[in-house]
Amino acid sequence: MNVLLVSPYRGKTYESVGIRVPPLGLLYIGGVLREAGHDIELDLSEDADSQDKIDFSNADVVGITSTTSQFKKAMRIAHVAKEAGKMVIMGGPHPTSSPDEALRSGNVDYIVRSEGEATAVELLKGIEESNGNFDPSKVLGVSWYDRETDTVVNNPPRPFIWELDSLPYPARDLGGEIFDYRNKGIDGHVSPTMITTRGCPYGCRFCDVHVLAGRKWRARSPKSVADEVEYLVTKYGAEDIRIMDDIINHDNEELHRLLDAIIERNFNITFWVMGRADMLLRDPSTADKMAKAGVRAMFIGIETPSKRILKTYHKGGKASADTSAGAVDLLRQHGIETYGGFIIGEPTESEEEIKTTIEYAKFVNPATAQFSILTPYPGTEIWNQLRDKLIVRDWDKFDGLHAVFHGKYLTAPQLESWCRKAYIRFYLRPKRIAGQIASAMNGKKSTGPRLKTVSKIFALLKTIYPKEEEVIC
């Protein structure tokens, strides 16, 4: 079958500051479908205009991936595809957690829930071989609308894939020039993405990772990962690889084996990874080996220094203010930058607690700080808690920068104001700016985003929060 895979435009929140992440999950789907004998095309919409000009003419099936903030755009694409007479299949975190919304629109035929590779292959095989009499009820992991009973049927879930090495590489070649563009990081380097593990065993109440990848942590073999790194270097000229695992250091022994395999190949490239602070401190030698393997940046979900709020989030492990500070310091000692993720707007959070989070961020001083407003994504425990209290139902606003509910002590506009202040107070500190200017004048690489990128961040914030920015003395 001819299959057109579509990733909707993610919006200016990401593109305007140079964050371009290829839809790795969709590319994996493209890889397995092509291996199964289907002809695959890919559309990566770069803006709203290009999204409205998608050519469906050669497609038998249109497959659309969607996060929550992409969902409105995804449904517009589905509507146009359905009007063109195409079969429409959706996947991704939002359709997985909320299949009714898509299926009852009449524009989506099937939802592929959670990890979609095996489900997509079986679904298309059944459709192709049925001669128009396809019965979807036997395909695990599929949701569909039964017109006879006027009900949405959620077939039993499909078991997750344990042998991750069995999957073909993501079909990166399908993107052409647009994919090459999305492979460029903020610094302009060729920075493709890949994964070495799937799944997260922790139960953070705000996170929807388990919706797609489950709670069982699964790892690829070190050789498989090293082979793909070599492929990315030779095929695409990768200079920096962004490893998108949610917790690359869940099992430090496994991570050591992976790093040894990478060190043995002597790749002259750098890596960006994500992990947990407490697991890093559990085995400090991991930081040294990460540095030797080329890891130059690590994202850590710090969230807040508040013990009370960390507990309400069910952050788990040994998450604490001291743990996060220790991890940032350990990484700094080994020349690894920290990307610190902070969340404001827990429903019972006070203004003083938000101020403390900002001051704490300044104190630990990661190279990069990302401040987000707590967003209740469908499928999370926070969603179940707050769904009846939402003041905004516009999925475009579920991007982490808009407040979609009022807290106990702070209104949504106040939360947005504090998000803006957090960025200002962290990035516009005179000492930080002076350090970056000095580094630039001396030809040294400054830590964190360059001043040009910081200016883009504030240009974006000004469009979202069109208020006079406070002056930091």
Euclidean distance between CA atoms 121 and 123, whole angstroms: 6
Answer positive or negative: Cα dihedral of 22, 102, 57, 9.
negative
Centroid of chain to Cα 137: 31
Q: Which residues contact 7 (CB under 8 A, 6 or more apart)?
A: 23, 26, 42, 43, 44, 45, 64, 65, 70
pLDDT of residue 471: 43
Same domain membership, residue 114 and residue 46:
yes
What is the domain-level CATH number for residue 341? 3.20.20.70
Please check whether residues 76 and 203 belong to one and the same domain.
no
How high is the pLDDT of residue 44? 80
Q: Are residues 53 and 96 in the same domain?
A: yes
Of 317, 352, 381, the domain-final residue: 381
Look at the chain and report how many structural domains it folds into.
2
> Do 56 and 204 belong to one domain?
no
Residue 434 lies in a domain: no
Backbone angles phi, psi at 110, to 5 degrees: -145, 145
Crossing angle of helices 351-364 and 412-427, in 10° steps, is 20
Which helix (H) or strand (E) segment holds residue 100: the answer is: helix 99-103
Q: Residue 53 is part of a domain; what is its CATH number? A: 3.40.50.280
> What is the Cα 203 distance to its own chain's centre?
17
Do 148 and 196 share a domain, yes or no? Answer: no
* CA 64 – CA 250 distance, rounded (Å): 31
Q: Which of 102, 92, 90 is nearest to 152 (CA)?
A: 102
Write down the pLDDT at residue 181: 47
Q: Assess if residue 132 is contained within a domain.
A: yes
Could you tell me the mean pLDDT of each successive run of 10 residues in the chain, 473 residues long? 93 62 91 97 75 88 96 95 97 96 96 97 96 92 96 97 97 70 56 94 93 94 98 92 95 97 96 96 97 97 97 94 98 96 98 98 95 96 96 94 96 96 94 79 68 80 71 40
Q: How far is Cα 343 from Cα 248, in angstroms, rounded to an integer? A: 21
pTM confidence score: 0.93
Q: Domain residues for 86?
A: 2-154
What gap in Å lies between CA 471 and CA 410, rounded to an integer? Answer: 23
What is the rounded CA–CA span in Å between residue 369 and residue 423?
8
Q: Is residue 317 part of a domain?
A: yes
Tell me whether residue 231 is in a domain.
yes
Same domain membership, residue 331 and residue 207: yes
